[in-house]
Amino acid sequence: MGKIRVYKLAEELKVHTKDLVDYLKKEGVSIRNHMSTIDEETADLIREMIETEKEEKMEEEILEPMEFNKLPTLKELAFKLKMKPIDLAIKLINRGDIDSLNGEIKYNTLVEILKEYKKRPILPKELEKKAEEKKELPLRPPVVTIIGHVDHGKTTLLDAIRNSRIAQSEAGGITQHIGAYEVSLDKKRKIVFIDTPGHEAFTTMRARGVKATDIAVLVVAADDGVKPQTIEAINHARAANVPIIVAINKIDKPGVQINRVKEELSKHGIIPEEWGGEHTFVEISALQRKGIEDLLEMISLTAEILDLRADDKKPGTGIVIESRLDKTKGAGAKVLIKEGKIKTGDFFISGSTFGKVRTIIGGNNKPIKEAGPSNIVEIYGFSSLPEAGSYLYVIRDNKLAKELSEYFKELKEQGKKEEEKTVSLDDLLEKIKGGETKKLSLVIKADVQGSLEAIEKSLSKIDMEGAEIEILHKGIGGISETDVMLASASKGIVVGFNVRPDSKAEKAAQREKVEIRIYRVIYELIEDIERALKGLLEPVLREVVVGKAEVRQIFKIPKVGQVAGCFVLDGKIKRGSKARLIRDQVVIKDSFINSLKRFKDDVGEVAAGYECGLTLEGVKDYKEGDIIEAYVEEVVE
């Protein structure tokens, strides 16, 4: 049976590639991206379904006509529909039609808005025909993030790209500005590299509903192979639904086995094209500047297939990557322009803040007058610091910009975030029944490999119609902030077995409303998830941490043994309370506090900021840096 690439089928059906990918995933077809293949039988079925949908749309109910002499502006349409301009503006923002706030409402937008009110637009024939004509938008440069293990050469690769392009160009060919690198392959083709800490950065963006990256380049060292952070990077890029190009680095080193690296990656679903997979592999030596041109060509080719286009004429929209307060310039932000142009003097909103563009800082740290699609610039003129991941919209009407920013400010103050609430285990069934989600996404961390394999195997056996379990990431060791952000981005939960979250992970979980579930018995973990999927969750005991202390010195007392000299970090440590000994975020012993002293005196409790000596029942071996975590148990319905 023959196979066809998804992007080829999209061309045949005359639909956008991204729309077809979303449609296939919605219909349950197992694909990753536009480069995936499907068999001809499935393709025929999709052709038939799309054709049927087109026929059904033609048979829709007859709508009441509403006449227009021309395409209306936002205020004109709001008046005709007897609604406030700000209410229509919010509706347009939620649709992503921000450019319609600044001029005439687009024809397709007008049709869809009126349809909600059981009406259809009637325009002069020549105007309607002109409005329906689709103009070919210009191509924009791809935005690329380099990810991978910490020592595999990400920074060296960026340096190699920067230096190699400078050497071949009169005007530099590449501009470093605001943590971004714009590479010119020739007069027409460009690539923008974001210089970020890696996969954590674009996952944090995605957690707020933002896709800042078009392509991810996964760097793997030929002499080191796949490492835990490599797997983490793969899972983040896959969850973000961006194409992955693999750069096998350090091929200049003696004795490297490139096929071994490919075999290791194939175990994690990253299979080379020559092996029948859908991932491009490029062999490079960043240090010796080998293979850099091949990598840039592959990125350009992938961008060509993605067909990245943007309207560079309309009012600009962008994504805030990070914000900063400058003593002389005031509140500013690093912004990735997605569409349109942002110019000095433009009014804009960004979440609950608004402003007027006073200064745009571009290449070589110099002021520029305007910025277009895929440019990364610093913009100053915000009324207050915007949040990373928030969208920036240019709005020509200053009064409307202020009204909208006040509206979003009220939403924020009321706790009504723009982001969806993260899925929790307790309300999962309700969401499945309501059609909000069809899967439970998990990040699983365990103390040892054996436990991890046992959990994964047991979860694979859980079967419930209408719901599935997706493992976003699995690993050994404590729960980190990165684990929490990945779960948040995918509306999932974090499950830990005999491991604990560090302080950064706990704060991130509270901030992002991510549920962290900790277990010490495998069957309890499996039963909880199974009961949640079947809607049978019963009242459970929830642990509440009441105090944390760090072991800073070990004392040996005759007839007593070791005593842990501790400093209380948070809360209170009470004698007799349940407590666990944690070493490197792994639970060593679950016990209770047997004795508690301040100097030579027995005490009932010790508060944060004070030192104490304590012993845990059944623990005879303490190490400096161990954490004593005191907790109580509460019954939760």
pTM above 0.75, yes or no: no
Please identify, among 273, 306, 339, the residue that sits at the C-terminal boundary of a domain: 306
Q: How far apart are CA 105 and CA 348, in angstroms?
A: 19
pLDDT of residue 262: 93
Q: What are phi and psi of 75, to 5 degrees?
A: -65, -40
For residues 152 and 251, membership in a common domain is answered with: yes
Strand partners, 281: 246
- 205 and 103 assigned to the same domain: no
Contact status, residue 601 vs residue 511, Cβ threshold 8 Å: no
Which H/E stretch holds residue 288?
Answer: none
CA torsion angle 274 278 282 286 (round to 10)? -150
Task: Examine the pLDDT at 546 and tell me if it is beyond 70.
Answer: yes
**Is residue 421 included in any domain, yes or no?**
no
**CATH classification at residue 627:** 2.40.30.10
How many beta carbons lie within 10 A of that of residue 314, not counting itself? Answer: 17
Name the residue with higher pLDDT: 159 or 55: 159
CA-CA distance, 22 to 15, in Å (whole number)?
12
Residue 32 dihedral angles phi and psi, to the nearest 5°: -105, -45
User: How many Cβ atoms sit within 10 Å of the Cβ of residue 483?
Assistant: 28
Domain co-membership, 174 together with 294: yes
Q: How far apart are CA 474 and CA 468, in angstroms?
A: 17
Q: Following DSSP, what letter does each residue of 566-578 receive, concatenated? A: EEEEEEEEETT-E
How many Å apart are CA 321 and CA 194, to the nearest integer?
A: 10
Maximum Cα interatomic distance, the chain, rounded to a whole number of Å:
99
Parallel, antiparallel or unpaired: strands 611-616 and 586-598: antiparallel
Residue ranges of E strands in 558-626: 561-574, 578-583, 586-598, 601-602, 605-607, 611-616
From 41, 58, 75, the end of a domain falls on 58
CB atoms within 10 A of CB 617: 11
The reply to whether 151 and 42 lie within a common domain is no
The verdict on residue 223 lying in a domain is yes
In a domain, 265, yes or no: yes
- Does residue 189 surpass a pLDDT of 70? yes
Confidence check: pLDDT of 418 > 50: no
pLDDT score for 410? 72
- Asked if residue 295 has pLDDT above 50, the reply is yes
Q: Which residues contact 475 (CB under 8 A, 6 or more apart)?
A: 228, 231, 232, 444, 445, 446, 452, 483
> Is 127 in the same domain as 152?
no
Any domain includes 423: no
Range in 31-40, 367-376, 550-559 the model is least confident about: 31-40
Label residues 280-303 b or e (16+ Cβ within 10 Å = b): bbbbbbbeeeebbbebbebbbebb
Q: What are phi and psi of 375, to 5 degrees?
A: -75, 145
Question: Exposure pattern of 406-444 as b/e (b: 16+ CB <10 Å)?
Answer: ebbeeeeeeeeeeeeebbebeebbebbeeeebebbbbbb
- Give ∠ CA 181-183-189 in degrees, rounded to 5: 140
Over residues 465-512, the pLDDT tens digits come to 656 788 888 888 899 888 888 888 777 889 999 899 988 888 888 888
> d(Cα 272, Cα 616) in Å, to the nearest integer?
53
d(CA 190, CA 615): 63
Cβ atoms within 10 Å, residue 123: 19
Does residue 332 sit in the same domain as residue 364? Answer: yes
pLDDT at 259: 92
Q: β-strand 540-557 against 561-574: which pairing, if any?
A: antiparallel
Q: Which two tokens stand for residue 59?
A: 């048979």
pLDDT at 123 over 50: yes
**534 has a pLDDT exceeding 80:** no
The pLDDT of residue 349: 87
* Distance of alpha carbon 499 from the chain centroid: 24
Q: Residue 169 pLDDT > 60, yes or no?
A: no
- Flag the least confident range among 60-64, 201-205, 227-231: 201-205
Is 138 within the bounds of a domain?
Answer: no
* Residue with the larger pLDDT of the pair 397 and 419: 397
- Do residue 483 and residue 582 come from a single domain? no
Strand order in the sheet with 190-194: 174-177, 180-184, 190-194, 143-148, 215-221, 244-249, 280-283
Residue 170 pLDDT more than 60? no
Confidence of residue 615 (pLDDT cuts 50, 70, 90): very high
The answer to whether 28 touches 42, Cβ cutoff 8 Å, is: no
Compute the distance between CA of residue 501 and CA of residue 484 in angstroms, rounded to an integer.
Answer: 9
Q: What pLDDT, on a 0 to 100 scale, did the predictor assign at position 417? A: 46
Looking at residue 201, its pLDDT comes to 53
Whether residues 460 and 479 share a domain: the answer is: yes
Most confident of the ranges 235-239, 308-312, 405-409, 628-632: 628-632
Least confident window among 170-184, 367-381, 533-547: 170-184
Kindly state whether residues 514 and 400 are assigned to the same domain.
Answer: no
Closest-CA residue to 237 (of 452, 38, 32, 440):
32
Residue 606 · residue 568 · CB < 8 Å: yes
Backbone angles phi, psi at 610, to 5 degrees: -115, 160
Q: What was the pLDDT predicted at 172? A: 39
- Structure-model confidence comparison of residues 58 and 143, the more confident one: 143
Dist. CA 292–CA 161, nearest whole Å = 7
Average pLDDT rounded to a whole number, residues 318-338: 87
CA distances from 495 to 166, 457, 475, 520 (A): 47, 15, 11, 11
As a whole-number percent, the residues of the chain with pLDDT over 90 amount to 22
Last residue of a domain, one of 29, 58, 87: 58
Burial of 461 (0-12, 13-18, 19+ CB in 10 A): exposed
Distance, in Å, from the CA atom of 57 to the CA atom of 59, rounded to the nearest integer, reads: 5
Among 209-213, 237-241, 372-376, 444-448, name the one with the lowest average pLDDT: 209-213
Whether 147 and 255 map to the same domain: the answer is: yes
Whether residues 299 and 153 share a domain: the answer is: yes
pLDDT, residue 582, reads 93
The answer to whether residue 311 sits within a structural domain is no
Using left for φ > 0, alpha for ψ between -120 and 50, and beta otherwise, residue 303 falls in alpha
pLDDT band at 171 (very low <50, low <70, confident <90, very high): very low
pLDDT digits (tens, 9 = 90+) for 206-226: 555 556 789 989 999 998 889
Position 511 in a domain: yes
Q: Which domain holds residue 409?
A: 317-413
pLDDT recorded at residue 100:
75
**Under a CB-based contact definition with an 8 Å cutoff, are residues 334 and 376 in contact?**
yes
- The reported pLDDT for the residue numbered 178 is 52
Q: Please give the mean pLDDT across all residues of the chain.
A: 81
Q: How many domains does the chain have?
A: 6
Examine the domain organization and report whether 173 and 80 are in the same domain: no
Determine the pLDDT at residue 219.
92
Q: What is the pLDDT of residue 345?
A: 92
Instruction: Give me the pLDDT at residue 457, please.
Output: 84
Would you say residue 55 has pLDDT above 70?
A: no
Give 416's pLDDT tier (boundaries 50, 70, 90). very low
In whole angstroms, give the CA distance from residue 101 to residue 93: 9
7 assigned to some structural domain: yes
**Letter string b/e over residues 53-85, b meaning 16 or more CB atoms within 10 A of that residue's CB:** eeeeeeeeeeeeebebeebbbbeebbeebeeeb
User: Residue 430 has what pLDDT?
Assistant: 64
Higher pLDDT, 376 or 364: 376
